[in-house]
Amino acid sequence: MAAAARQEHIKLALALPARLRTFLARYPHPSILPAGQTPETFKTAYQEDTPNPFLPLRHPVTGRWHEPKYSLRRQAELYKLAREHGVAELLPSTPKSAEERLRKRVEEGLRVKGTGVGQKVKGHKYERQLEAKMEKRRQAMLAMPELIKEWKKVGKRNWTNFPK
């Protein structure tokens, strides 16, 4: 039974595009490691060089920053390819992932001042006063039936003398 499942996984892996297969061979996700291996014990030469190829790396000796192994454009292409084939969760964390994009969208808003979490747009005076104005109008509309009854009782001529 285990051999059949293993063959099925191999078939699925071979169905992936070559770029994606190459990437997953260089940077395997812990869930697809060989049996009995842990991420600490099983590291490819690529993983020893750069643990996450999507993030910049600080050189341990010189302290200078090195660019990521995969540019943002190549990250986006790889991520789209992985998403099409249903293996996006096997890629390392990247600014191009759907979760990261959603988190950033919620945090920053629509890149328009005031649309993020806890932000407020200054706006024109009429825009700032609109909410209070509409609330006052809503209260007046709710009180309108009572006002009409009073008006019919008092009459149009005496309305100007009627206390408000």
The pTM of the whole model exceeds 0.75:
no
For residue 147, pLDDT beyond 60 = yes
Instruction: Quote the CA–CA distance of 36 and 42 in Å, as a whole number.
Output: 10
Among candidates 86, 94, 101, which has minimal Cα distance to 69?
Answer: 94
What are 75-129's pLDDT values in tens digits? 999 999 999 998 888 888 888 888 888 888 888 877 777 766 777 777 888 888 9
Structural domain boundaries of the chain? 2-108, 131-156
Q: At what angle do helices 18-26 and 2-14 cross, to 10 degrees?
A: 120
For residue 12, pLDDT beyond 90 = no
End-to-end Cα separation, the chain, in angstroms: 87
For residue 3, pLDDT beyond 70 = no
In this prediction, residue 144 carries a pLDDT of 94
DSSP 116: S
In this prediction, residue 9 carries a pLDDT of 64
